[in-house]
A and B are shown apart, each in its own frame.
Chain A
Amino acid sequence: MAKNILTLTDSNFDEQLVASDVPILVDFWAEWCGPCKIIAPILEEIAEQKNGKLAIAKLNVDDAMNTARRFEVMSIPTLILFKEGQPVTRIVGAKPKGQLLADLEVHL
């Protein structure tokens, strides 16, 4: 995994969200989810491209079930963009890079 991607867990989730001075895009994923694997490299590219403007974090729903439940994630991949600790938009399902960037851009 790329160095500039955070790993979130139930215990560090709130802390990491507050600590970030840029918006964080959290990728709710799991090992067994095919479409999650497809967007993983796209997110790594976005992390590089948006370095300093947007942080990317991954949350494994198998390990961090409470957080997934708290945000009512019922389908993965789900991407939730947090600004100042608050969710501002949610993207459900794998999408091409261009479309992901376009969906995010309006909130950045």
Chain B
Amino acid sequence: MSEEVKVAIIGSGPAGLTAAIYTARADLNPVVIEGEPSSTTDQPGGQLMLTTEIENYPGFVEGIMGPELMANFRSQAQRFGATYDTAKVSRVDLTERPFKLWTTNQSGEEPKYLADAIIISTGARSLLLNLERETELIGHGVSTCATCDGFFFRDHNIAVIGGGDSALEEAGFLTKFAKSVTIIHRRNELRASKIMQDRAFANPKISFIWDSTVTELHGDTSLTGITVTNRITGETSELPVTGLFVAIGHSPNTDIFKGQIDMDEVGYILTRDGTATNVPGVFACGDVQDHTYRQAITAAGSGCMAAIDVEKWLKQVEE
């Protein structure tokens, strides 16, 4: 038997959980389909679950740990009546209302939920390099989670790929353990914020290789080195690092909505009039529709907008 709900929220990062707080307080009894445990950003709580200290979320003078912040969001929404389903949505049918949702933990063929309205807040995931042997070396030198694995690289020489805030944050964190951290960036300047750049340049353990990409991974059972190629001169060099942390950008988690919701050419959901999508009753918030700001606070802000938009829309269709 399908469960009928007014609002289904897909995803449980800052956007989804803020939408949950607001829709729960509006008595819409939201169900949050929060995702499944994993060691990537694709997990309940989202990208902040793999960060350490969050210093720029307003209201926390001394900063707060990412996982703790998300646990607070979750409890706060729960206090107002939001419920959670620890599963991933495997399929959606948005052609007619109520919308149909299938999940990874359901039995039978019937959709698990029939929802009057949907808030999509599935976020974005970190990109990998797509190099040969990358997946098999994860956990053996190649890491997707600096906070999980940094500890094991005590006195190792390691590399971080990327030039944004997340790359610099990881690099800074890793200098607590590593002997040296080399940041490899494909341009000759960083995309990261000024404060993060200043910290990285001032850190004696951090050095930079500019205009370069990683083109090969070496090592049989664990990583022993990488090949770095300069994009301008074409020159290659070997870097004997035993750890590699990849922070080269993000891709939106929108595969299950392809063909049903309007997206841009790289898969970000297109919104208009606040958080509305092209399908009436389906709203999108957070990183899944934002490749510009991508902050916890902007995601939370757009989650609030989606909740208000949903409430208004439901009232209109009920009249």
Nearest 4 Cβ contacts at the A-B interface: A93-B39, A92-B139, A75-B139, A96-B36
- Whether A75 and B152, one on each chain, are in contact in the complex, defined by CB atoms closer than 8 angstroms, is yes
- The complex places the Cα of A39 from the Cα of B138 at a distance, in Å, of 19
> Would you give the shortest CB distance from B243 to chain A, in whole angstroms?
8
Query: Are B139 and A94 within 8 A (Cβ)?
Result: no
Asked if A1 is at the interface of the complex by the 8 Å CB criterion, the answer is no
Partner of B222, one of A37, A74, A96: A74
Chain A, residue nearest B68 (CB):
A34
B44 touching A30 by the CB < 8 A rule?
no
Q: Contacts of A39 on B, CB cut-off 8 Å? A: 37
Q: A6 at interface (Cβ–Cβ under 8 A)?
A: no
Query: In the complex, what distance in Å separates the CA atom of A35 from the CA atom of B49?
Result: 8
A38 touches B140 (CB 8 A): no
> Which of chain A's residues 63-108 have a Cβ closer than 8 Å to chain B?
68, 72-78, 92-98
Q: Give per-residue flags for B159-198: 1 if the beta carbon is below 8 A from chain A beta carbons, else 0.
A: 0000000000000000000000000000000000000000
On whether the beta carbons of A77 and B151 are closer than 8 Å, the reply is no
Q: Which of A37, A61, A94, A96 contacts B104 (CB 8 A)?
A: A96
Docked-complex contact A35 and B39, CB < 8 angstroms? yes
Contacts of A36 in B (CB 8 A): 148
| Nearest CB in chain A: distance from B152 CB, A | 4
Q: Which residue of B lies closest to A97 (CB)?
A: B37
- Chain B residue nearest to A76 in the complex (CB): B148
Cβ contact within 8 Å between A35 and B37: yes
Instruction: For residue B218, give the distance in angstroms from its CB to the closest CB of chain A.
Output: 16
> Other CB < 8 Å A-B pairs besides A32-B151, A95-B38, 15 of them?
A32-B147, A35-B49, A38-B37, A38-B49, A61-B151, A72-B222, A74-B141, A74-B152, A75-B39, A75-B148, A76-B148, A77-B148, A92-B138, A93-B39, A93-B138
28 A-B pairs, CB-CB below 8 angstroms?
A30-B151, A32-B147, A33-B148, A34-B67, A35-B37, A35-B43, A35-B50, A35-B145, A39-B37, A42-B37, A61-B152, A68-B152, A72-B221, A74-B140, A74-B141, A74-B149, A74-B153, A75-B140, A75-B148, A75-B152, A76-B149, A77-B148, A93-B39, A93-B40, A94-B43, A96-B36, A96-B86, A98-B105
Residues in A37-61 with C-beta less than 8 Å from chain B: 37-39, 42, 61
When A and B form their complex, what is the total count of cross-chain residue pairs whose Cβ atoms lie within 8 Å? 79
A105 to B43, CA, bound (A): 24
How far apart are B39's CB and chain A's nearest CB, in angstroms? 3
Cα distance, A34 to B44, chains bound together (Å): 11
Q: Counting chain A CB atoms within 10 Å of each CB, which of B40, B50, B104, B148 scores highest?
A: B148
Interface size classification for chain A: 20 to 34
Tell me whether chain B's interface is mostly helix, strand or loop, or mixed: loop
Q: Chain B residues near A73: list those with CB within 8 A.
A: 152
For B275, the chain A residues whose CB sits under 8 A away are: none
Expressed in whole angstroms, the minimum distance between the Cβ of B43 and any Cβ of chain A is 7
The answer to whether A94 touches B39, judged by C-beta atoms less than 8 angstroms apart, is: yes
- Pair A95/B37 contact, Cβ less than 8 Å: yes
Verify if B212 is at the interface (C-beta below 8 Å from A).
no
Chain A nearest CB from B305 CB (Å) reads: 28
Q: How far is the CA of A34 from the CA of B41 in the complex (A)?
A: 11
Q: Chain B's nearest CB lies how many Å from the CB of A72?
A: 7
Of A72, A73, A92, A96, the most chain B CB neighbours within 10 A belong to A96
A49 to B83, CA, bound (A): 25
* Nearest neighbor of A91 in chain B, beta-carbon distance: B139
Least CB distance, B68 to chain A, in whole angstroms: 10
Interface centre among A32, A36, A75, A94 (most CB of B within 10 A): A75
Distance of A12 Cα from B108 Cα, bound (Å): 46
CA distance A26 to B111 in the complex (A): 37
Residue A34 contacts which of B86, B105, B140, B148 (CB distance < 8 angstroms)?
Answer: B148
A35's partner among B86, B140, B148, B221 (CB-CB below 8 A) is B148
A18 vs B39: C-alpha distance when bound (angstroms): 31
Q: Answer whether residue B143 sits at the interface, using C-beta atoms and an 8 A cutoff.
A: yes
The smallest beta-carbon distance between A67 and chain B, in angstroms, is 13
